[in-house]
A = this chain, B = another copy of it.
């Protein structure tokens, strides 16, 4: 959230306080929030990797978003009765629980935090729209490239990259579920990306060998991530803004 605006010390302290209060640890494949659930608190990912997903009548699964540290799992809990989708851990994941009440009052009191939450939600909308473009109009090869490049940018934002490498330990089945492909085809496209020398993929670590070429291959334009408001770009995760 701090991408959007600088927080005052007091605001930071309040956030820390909320985050430290209560935590959960989730094992891989475990639901953090199930579809149809309504809990009294909000989950924030502190470490690990999770995903939003929906199951289909025919047994298929569609992953709609990956959640990395700093992401809010269920902002809708403020307002809506039930979750219209599930959130599951992919790797072991720790989350902080913030009471919905606390969140609501927080929004009323301070405007910085409220605006930051709006920014996060608006950015989520942008990411979803981009994914629709992906699945609607881009080829399998481009889709995978796009997903990987987007994850590189997002991991940079939270300073979880090592150069052009980042830990992204998803199975190819997950990748397929996220891109709307079959595992077999996702595999072939992944191989092509490697053969083209754009990326490397070993032991759950993605290394982008040619960021510029990958960006081109992905037809990536980062405006939808709205990093332009970053208050101090030089300090933000090795300048994620340079990638967009």
Question: Hey, which bits of chain A sit against chain B, CB under 8 A?
Answer: 4, 36, 52, 54, 56-57, 60, 62, 64, 75-76, 78-82, 84-85, 108, 111, 115, 118-119, 121-122, 124-126, 128-133, 135-138, 179-180, 219, 223-224, 226, 228-229
Contact = CB atoms under 8 A, between A and B. Distances in A.
Given A79-B119, A115-B79, A118-B78, A64 B133 contact: yes
So how many copies of this chain end up in the complex? 2
Nearest to A121: B121
Nearest to A132: B64
Contacts of A52: 129
Given A84-B223, A133-B54, A124 B122 contact: no
Contacts of A119: 79-80
A223 B35 CA distance: 10
28 contacts: A4-B79, A52-B129, A56-B133, A57-B219, A60-B137, A62-B133, A62-B136, A62-B137, A64-B132, A75-B122, A78-B118, A79-B119, A79-B122, A80-B119, A80-B226, A84-B129, A85-B129, A85-B224, A124-B125, A125-B128, A128-B129, A128-B132, A131-B132, A132-B135, A135-B135, A135-B180, A136-B180, A137-B180
A49 to B, nearest CB: 19
B228 A81 contact: yes
A121 B128 contact: no
A223 B82 contact: yes
A136 B179 CA distance: 7
A79 B118 contact: yes
A144 to B, nearest CB: 13
A64 B129 contact: yes
Contacts of A121: 121, 125
Contacts of A180: 132, 135-137
List of 6 A-B pairs having minimum Cβ-Cβ separation, nearest first = A136-B180, A135-B135, A128-B128, A84-B224, A62-B133, A76-B122
**Max chain B C-beta neighbours (<10 A), residue from A62, A81, A138, A228:** A62
A230 to B, nearest CB: 11
Contacts of A4: 79
A154 to B, nearest CB: 15
Nearest to A4: B79
Contacts of A130: 84
